[in-house]
Amino acid sequence: MSLTLKQLRYFVAAAETGQISHAAIEMNISQSAVTAAIQDLQAGLGVKLLSRSPKGMVLTPEGARFLSRARTILATVEDAVRSPLGDEAGATGRLRLGMSYTVAGYFMARHAAAFRRSYPGITLELHEMPRPAIEVALVAGDLDIAVMLTSNLDNKEELDFETLFRSRRRLWLATEHPLLTEPLVPVEAVIREPYIMLTVDEADRTQAKFWQGFGIRPRVIFETSSVEAVRSMVASGMGVTILSDMVYRPWSLEGQRIEQRPVAEGVPSMDVGLSWSKGRALSPPARVFRAFLGLATGGGS
């Protein structure tokens, strides 16, 4: 069998937190993705690694032994990431890194910190910018590389890109919402509900394309650039929304639960990746960063 780093990371996170939901939050993915990865890992190994208990997930004896090996494998990979990468071993200098809002808030913090620890010779300059400004800055040479929503990228004639991972978009609902009984919620049911529209990082633009494909649109009662506002309004039962697993958290600031369901017709994923100018070669620091982030996420597609 072939193990994947994602399977190991998700298993270790579930074992250490004792909860699939907590592991999903830590890894910025859906609970179903964690569950599926662990199930595939167990099937490949032919043993049960985790079992459910009233307090959460508990390691089996086989799981406890495998956890030690999984940690060793991940530590070895981490050492490889922190080690000099190929010809860029002596890379020093400045890296001007652009980030969109969602990437900055929900993805990049731990990776930026790890990169700085791993490559102290590279001065990392972080710039949060909207997608259009990032594209202009990359073409003009004011940014070396950007981490952004590659699914939103417009200027593909002058920009190269690499998608690192795809975050599924799903319907967010309050607990006890009638649509929770639907394993797959049809779009016709969604448009009958009051809808909370997130506008930041062109989320409204992305959703508009989806709805236009069906010749319908949701009944928007409020638009906001605040993810926390969306979370609170959905949790309190004011309306529903469709957002990605990367920004999903199961609780609002007020401590109210938020549930998720897939949309039957399928919603385009939110793709996160790297982008840079086709017109100039990546600088040594940018090449190191690209290799680092690709290895750290197990991405590249």
Q: Domain boundary at 50, 82, 114, which? A: 82
148 neighbors 98 (Cβ within 8 angstroms):
yes
Closest CA to 149 of 116, 96, 105, 214: 105
- Residue 61: give the domain boundaries: 5-82
Do 218 and 289 have their domain in common? no
Do 78 and 140 have their domain in common? no
Do 174 and 242 have their domain in common? yes
Do 176 and 262 have their domain in common? yes
- For tokens 């448009």, the residue is 191
How far is residue 43 from each of residues 8, 27, 38, 233, 268, measured CA to CA in Å? 13, 22, 8, 40, 29
pLDDT at 300: 46
Alpha-carbon distance of 21 to 7, in angstroms, equals 16
Do 23 and 141 have their domain in common? no
Do 151 and 292 have their domain in common? yes
- CATH number, domain at 249? 3.40.190.10
pLDDT at 88: 53
Residues sharing a CB contact under 8 Å with residue 122, sequence separation 6 or more, in sequence order: 91, 92, 93, 94, 95, 115, 285, 288, 289
How far is residue 267 from each of residues 69, 168, 243, measured CA to CA in Å? 38, 8, 9
pLDDT at 3: 82
Do 121 and 251 have their domain in common? no
Provide the token pair at 54: 């009233």
Helix (H, G, I), strand (E, B) or coil at 266: coil
pLDDT at 173: 96
- CATH number, domain at 57? 1.10.10.10
Apex 165 CA angle, 161 and 171, nearest 5: 120
Do 125 and 215 have their domain in common? no
Do 99 and 143 have their domain in common? yes
Q: Domain boundary at 29, 63, 82, which? A: 82
pLDDT at 20: 86
Q: Which amino acid is at 111?
A: H
Pairing of strands 93-99, 145-149: parallel
Alpha-carbon distance of 145 to 169, in angstroms, equals 26
Do 110 and 200 have their domain in common? no
Q: Name the stretches of the chain with pLDDT < 70.
A: 1, 28, 79-90, 298-301
Do 210 and 254 have their domain in common? yes
What is the number of structural domains in the chain? 3
Do 133 and 44 have their domain in common? no
The strand pairing partners of 163, in sequence order, are 273
